[in-house]
Structure 1
Amino acid sequence: MNDLFGGVYAGRRVLVSGHTGFKGSWLCLWLTALGARVTGLALAPDTEPAHWNLLGLSEVEDLHVDLRDAAAVRQTLQHAQPEIIFHLAAQPLVRRSYREPVVTFDTNVLGLVNLLEAVRATPSVRALVNATTDKVYLEQTTDGGYREDHPLGGHDPYSTSKACAELVTECYRKSFFLDAGPRVATARAGNVIGGGDWSEDRLVPDLVRAASTGSTLQIRNPDAVRPWQHVLEPLSGYLRLGALLLAGEAVEGPWNFGPSADATLPVQALVSLMQSHWPALRSAHQPGPHPHEANILQLDSSRAKQQLGWQPVWDADTTLQSTIQWYREYYEQSHLLSRENLQAYVDSAHAAGLEWAA
């Protein structure tokens, strides 16, 4: 593992904000396998069970810090002296953002400002990757999906806050980091799935909870189209992007990391595929009205493929098999497959000839 991404993370001081969350916990697992010295900045996990707790990554310095506390964020960076930061901390749920818009904007926008101000005061930081979302784009009909040069927008508070986060990141890059300071990029990914997610109002965790209790999940928008991808797919993009930033490559700015073409599916199609691997999953359509969510989301990742040498590794069926197997092993055998999933993904990337996995 130490040789992946050119060996750049071995012994490297890395800070991960949001490390106790679903995506952050998987990133910490990968970074520790790469030999990085990881510090985490986040609130305590807000689900039970929680993937972060199950992993037991004692080698990660686990600091519970609220991103909205500017002084605490600055103290954390000065303590950790990171060389690269992966910023994943956020209020990430669309429906929660309708209930708690102030918390959403406070965390996703002002929390980011607090982090960037702390970066300005911490000369050790050489690179920063800010993970946003595919939902930052202005809703419109597109040919082949949203590209990085499409206009930003938002309808719900979550999407709007993340579009704001893109603008804030670019503002700081141009205003404070252009001639000196860290190289900064943003990463836009699709709907990530995989073992260990128990968040509220997310399709796969909701289905898994229903299956584990023998109940039927009510599906809000069965025809909504989303780019589904295993959590390791965008994380490989973040790590590739971070490695190139550290190497001084001109890769600042926004990047899309979407799934393989066959994995952009309507909700009902994804549910049907999952049921073929786990018959205990049951669903039914719940008529509206529901809060607005975009009907079609699709990412064009061709720029990342051409300029970063990145591409998705697993197709839709492999992604779903891996995800369902993880949950079944956990619920039926109390066995955690995260490390096996990571090794299988790396092996697949190596077999596909991807440069970062050479």
Structure 2
Amino acid sequence: MRILVTGAAGFIGYHLSQSLLADGHTVYGLDALTSYYDPALKRTRLDLLQRQNGFDFGQIDLTDAAALGVFVAEAEAEVVFHLAAQPGVRYSIENPQSYIQSNVVGTANLLEALRQHLPKHLIFASTSSVYGGNTTMPYAETDRADSPLSLYAATKKSGEALVHSYSHLWSIPSTCVRFFTVYGPYGRPDMAILKFAHALAAGEPIDVYGHGRMQRDFTYVSDLVAAMVAIMEKAPVMGRPVAGDSLSAVAPFRLLNLGGGRPVALMEFIASIERAMGANARLNVLPMQPGDVVATQADTALLKALIGELPTTPLDVGIGRFVAWFREYYGT
């Protein structure tokens, strides 16, 4: 198939694009290569993709509606994965405009371009952060998600609402996938796992927020990608729900958790990194940061109903693969 991947030079976009290319699809990758974090890592990912047959790239910012429209028209994609976004909970407090422009305006621009070239399935990357102040675990897609705790979460919830409206108005089959703490090789430098690895390698203390009591539903990147590829063939159809579905009553639109459903204590996660790196961490224990939540856990019943069991990489195996990449890439 012809597949458009926005954010193709990003962490998840890179892994997804590699998987799609390996399956023989033609991938039209789009990325702005912004400087939110070291663009060298993005260019490394991009270079690896451009060595593959069937990859076409456009360096385009989602806020450039004209250039975006031209690229979408040329791609004529049957499936669209919209992963491009300004990520990060804490940075959204410091620089809110970049989130509004990229995650809200950029998503609206993409949807308007897709209205002219309707895909068979649009898959929008959302986040578990939209569950915000919910205290009931695990998070189910049918739970209310009206209390975001960060601007990042609010912009992603806005993106879901925009996708629903276009799905209703233009009959675009759309799935909003809510990611749960994805980790693995080529991860973003602003994510905890890479910060921990750098600190351990340098013998520096690790900042541990929430007094070390936080839990996250960590999801290894290849497991997530396998699920996303399987979801391609599961475009929502109005009036045809499965058990426990979040299918909209007025649009071919579905919300879907992508996580393992097995939360891991932050201290256990750190201990796994220590084992893989053969080093003991010095901990700088700190209070919760604004916008953070204590725990996350995905209800995976709907995911299993759609595609079967999610591939599950054991934590120590996933951390081991990450550390092997970290040592090779950074030479530590």
> TM tier, shorter chain?
0.7 to 0.9
The equivalent of 1:19 in structure 2 is 8
- Which secondary structure state, in structure 2, belongs to the residue aligned with residue 49 of structure 1? helix
Q: What is the deviation of 1:274? A: 1.3
The equivalent of 1:194 in structure 2 is 184
The 3 A distance-change label for structure 1 pair 71 and 294 is same
Task: Supply the distance in 1 between the matched residues of 2:110 and 2:152 (Cα, whole angstroms).
Answer: 19
The equivalent of 1:341 in structure 2 is none
Say which of 49, 62, 66 aligns to 2:57. Answer: 62
Which moved further from structure 2: 27-36 or 305-314?
Answer: 305-314
The equivalent of 1:105 in structure 2 is 100
Task: Supply the distance in 1 between the matched residues of 2:27 and 2:236 (Cα, whole angstroms).
Answer: 16
The 3 A distance-change label for structure 1 pair 22 and 281 is farther
The equivalent of 1:298 in structure 2 is 297
Moved over 6 A (4+): 246-251
1:151 corresponds to 2:144 = yes
Alignment of 1:347-358 (within 5 A): none
Q: Amino acid of the residue matched to residue 48 of structure 2?
A: L
1:38 corresponds to 2:30 = no
Q: What is the deviation of 1:189? A: 1.6
- Which secondary structure state, in structure 1, belongs to the residue aligned with residue 217 of structure 2? strand
Q: What is the deviation of 1:292? A: 3.1
Say which of 74, 78, 91 aligns to 1:96. Answer: 91
Q: What is the deviation of 1:175? A: 2.2
For this pair of structures, how many residues does the alignment match?
313
Which moved further from structure 2: 220-229 or 34-43?
Answer: 220-229
Q: What is the TM-score when the length of structure 1 is the normalising length?
A: 0.81
1:217 corresponds to 2:213 = no
Task: Supply the distance in 1 between the matched residues of 2:108 and 2:150 (Cα, whole angstroms).
Answer: 21
- Which secondary structure state, in structure 1, belongs to the residue aligned with residue 196 of structure 2? helix
The equivalent of 1:137 in structure 2 is 131
Task: Supply the distance in 1 between the matched residues of 2:116 and 2:22 (Cα, whole angstroms).
Answer: 29
Q: What is the deviation of 1:260? A: 5.0
Structure 1 residues 179-207: Cα deviation after superposition (integer angstroms, max 9, x where no partner): xxx3111111200000111432x111111
The equivalent of 1:75 in structure 2 is 70
Alignment of 1:108-257 (within 5 A): 108-123=103-118, 125-143=119-137, 145-153=138-146, 154-177=148-171, 182-200=172-190, 202-221=191-210, 222-245=212-235, 252-257=253-258
Identity %: 25
Q: Amino acid of the residue matched to residue 162 of structure 1?
A: K
Q: Amino acid of the residue matched to residue 176 of structure 1?
A: W
Task: Supply the distance in 2 between the matched residues of 1:45 and 1:280 (Cα, whole angstroms).
Answer: 34
Any conservation in 2 of the 1:207–1:281 contact (CA below 8 Å)?
no
Structure 1 residues 68-105: Cα deviation after superposition (integer angstroms, max 9, x where no partner): 11111111101111111000000111111111111102
The equivalent of 1:345 in structure 2 is none
- Which secondary structure state, in structure 1, belongs to the residue aligned with residue 189 of structure 2? coil
Q: What is the TM-score when the length of structure 2 is the normalising length?
A: 0.87
Q: Amino acid of the residue matched to residue 58 of structure 2?
A: L
Unaligned runs of 5+ in 1: 1-11, 334-358
Q: What is the deviation of 1:227? A: 0.6
